[in-house]
Structure 1
């Protein structure tokens, strides 16, 4: 069953149940009022019977006629009995006892009694007269009241059915309108294919659960797209970057074996093979790094990492590797709350990303000083890494994060063009941003920003 139909049924069932309870309360209240009113009528009949039968000798003929006129209209299935002190029926022609002695004694004991016998309602009073002490019991069936109650129940039943049908139609319409954005999201989701994960669904105004669903789905698509791109990059890099140096090395060795060479020629060939070996080693290291990133990217282990502590760990590493005074850390601002310095990330991946940037800074500046600025407040964490190297051409700033792309002014440097590509994927995985500013021949600054 679709959610919209389920919601409609749930809403209709709850509303109808509440309406049914209200109708039951109304019917019970109305029934109680009808019974109470009919008991009042029976009480009046009992008083009239007392005046008619017991006090007729104490009033004038005119008054007796008025009493009889008031008593002439009987109630439906009315029964009146007057019982003397011996519980015998008096004044009534048929002399039928009708009520048992325990009932009569109960009226005599309590002076007043009202009770129901099936549909019949009964009122009993104790009446003290100069002729003796009598018990008067009056009973009748409130056919008119029962008819009113049945009419009310019938009307309530028709109203309940009509309102239930109306509620279902209205709730179905509201549910369809409410869930319409989900239908749109589903339609957009169906367009996503494994071969093209660049599509994103519309997130709407970003204030309701549907927008949250669309946002999470877009994040999932982004992660999958990045993971597939990393896998494709690995395959392409492995097939291309490994084949080229190996082919070159094999060719050089075959040339060297074709005929005897002089020592200088062998030395030249060995140096060429050594260079190709270094290139192959660098390529294998990059592939291993890429494989590690790919493995951790799909299922990253997120843990709180203090960014300042990570920066100081990188400082120790690069000080040992590049030399003292080569990597300079500048703490520009830190928040008072140390928890504001923590990022929920995979420390290994984030270290790879920062090391790629720092490694490029030293490589393209020929081991000149590299500055690392850290700024953090209650909202943002910003890391800037600046080198004083060859820089990047203005029209190439947007391309440095593409896989296998290398700038026109760095052709003489070793590399395969996947370091910044991997770095951008990692930073985006942790919901950060990365940007590059450069003045060719002077400085290059990579800015990483994490917003809370």
Structure 2
């Protein structure tokens, strides 16, 4: 199940708003509770001190009646404030339920406590003080109590208001968050609409990044970069398909034409043998093209060299040159090795020799008879480079970067004899072999010398 960015943003806005209002409500509720408690204590303390002053000066039972009358006056009708006087002398006692009060209040002077009286849902918060004996009055304990129910109702009302306000505010924030998300994502919707309008024939089109926000501008630039690479790959694919069709068409046409001519009239066994021999050469060419294409397809899928063995690079180069002795004698060319490399690299010998053979074959085919071909070995950092140089016509820089592409040829620049050799996959295979060994390729043309090479990583 896919969730939209708008829904996620709305949920995040609502969650943040809920957390914020919950934290603020918790703090405000605790502040209110402390203030109400402080207010209760101040009221109790004020009343307690006032009565304490009166009782302190009362020393006879006759005058005690005046204290009782004052406490009666201070006691409201709803009984939210109550007074108790505890004494060993019954004449100097006051209040209802003195026995229960005496059992619940044994604290030091001024200590507050909460006691639950019979018939009351909420406890009474109390404050007491000990008053020493005076004349006929023995020592007494004065207790002042206030019902906490009004304060509890206030806290409950405040909490209800906070919950209602927080819920309403969260809904408002969620609604505003939805509106903000929709407005904020409009550039993304426009960007998506432009991307959906792209077709294979319109790959040259690029997304507009100027009117976009900074965050989406970077995304558009990255997408445009991907479009550029896709356009290049698509162009290479079209060119590759055309080249493949061209390369396969010639040998197939030769096969069909020679076979049709052979079958057009009666021929001897020798004549049929000559036709089959010519057809076999074309079939070998087709098989070579197909095998090379399959190898490059595996390399494109990221296949790496297996069966790597620690091998002296110079030794493999010499063995490959020895394999070309017959071809070198035929063309009167010779190969010189420069820059002896004594280090070893982890190589798959068959692949390495294949790449080396392609470079030598390329140099021989595009050199005049009797030319001197130079193989240079050098080490750079963790790589070993093998380059093959041959005298030849200069190659423009615009072609150098494409020479390792499949089926890419610069016939006028790379074939002095005007002959058509190979099928345009040799250097592409060199690049694939280098990549499978963690290396790279290079090409240069200067002062009548063309150089092609590849590297292998010694740590591959």
Interval containing the TM-score (normalised by the shorter chain) = 0.5 to 0.7
Match for residue 140 of structure 2? 134
Match for residue 317 of structure 2? 315
CA, structure 1 residues 415+347, in 2 after alignment: closer, same or farther (shift >3 Å)?
same
CA displacement at 1:190 relative to structure 2: 2.9
CA, structure 1 residues 36+4, in 2 after alignment: closer, same or farther (shift >3 Å)?
same
| Residues 382-421 of structure 1 mapped to structure 2, 5 A cutoff | 385-391=387-393, 394=396, 397=399, 400=403, 401=405, 403=407, 405=409, 407-408=411-412, 410=415, 411-420=418-427
Contact 2:320 2:356 in 1 (8 A): no
Could you say what secondary structure the match of 1:250 adopts? helix
Q: Which runs of 5+ in 2 are unaligned?
A: 329-333
TM-score (norm 2): 0.65
Equivalent residue pairs, number: 423
Partners in 2 of 1:382 and 1:159 — Cα distance? 74
TM-score (norm 1): 0.66
Match for residue 236 of structure 1? 245
Cα shift readout 1:135-193 (whole Å, capped 9, x = no counterpart):
33322235775576456546644653465356546755776688677656644553455
Match for residue 2 of structure 1? 4
Contact 2:317 2:356 in 1 (8 A): no
Partners in 1 of 2:293 and 2:241 — Cα distance? 11
Cα shift readout 1:288-338 (whole Å, capped 9, x = no counterpart):
1112221342x32357999x9796576255233235983736489x9xxx9
| Residues 40-439 of structure 1 mapped to structure 2, 5 A cutoff | 40-53=42-55, 55-57=57-59, 77-85=80-88, 92=94, 96-97=96-97, 101=100, 103-108=101-106, 110-111=108-109, 112-115=111-114, 117=116, 118-130=121-133, 131-141=137-147, 145=151, 149=155, 152-153=158-159, 156-157=162-163, 160-161=166-167, 164-165=170-171, 167-168=173-174, 183=189, 186-187=192-193, 189-191=195-197, 193=199, 210=219, 214=223, 221=230, 225=234, 232=241, 236=245, 239-251=248-260, 253-254=262-263, 258=266, 270=274, 274=277, 277-297=280-300, 299-302=301-304, 312=314, 315-323=317-325, 326=335, 328=337, 330=339, 356-365=358-367, 368-372=372-376, 374=378, 376-377=380-381, 385-391=387-393, 394=396, 397=399, 400=403, 401=405, 403=407, 405=409, 407-408=411-412, 410=415, 411-420=418-427, 436-438=443-445
Partners in 2 of 1:427 and 1:186 — Cα distance? 39
Partners in 2 of 1:80 and 1:422 — Cα distance? 106
Partners in 1 of 2:91 and 2:375 — Cα distance? 119
Partners in 2 of 1:83 and 1:3 — Cα distance? 71
CA displacement at 1:220 relative to structure 2: 8.9
Partners in 2 of 1:198 and 1:313 — Cα distance? 49
Match for residue 14 of structure 2? 12
Across the aligned residues of Structure 1 and Structure 2, the Cα RMSD in angstroms comes to 5.7
CA displacement at 1:80 relative to structure 2: 1.4
CA, structure 1 residues 231+439, in 2 after alignment: closer, same or farther (shift >3 Å)?
closer
CA, structure 1 residues 178+132, in 2 after alignment: closer, same or farther (shift >3 Å)?
same
More deviation in 117-126 or 19-28?
A: 117-126
Cα shift readout 1:351-377 (whole Å, capped 9, x = no counterpart):
866764443223323684243455634
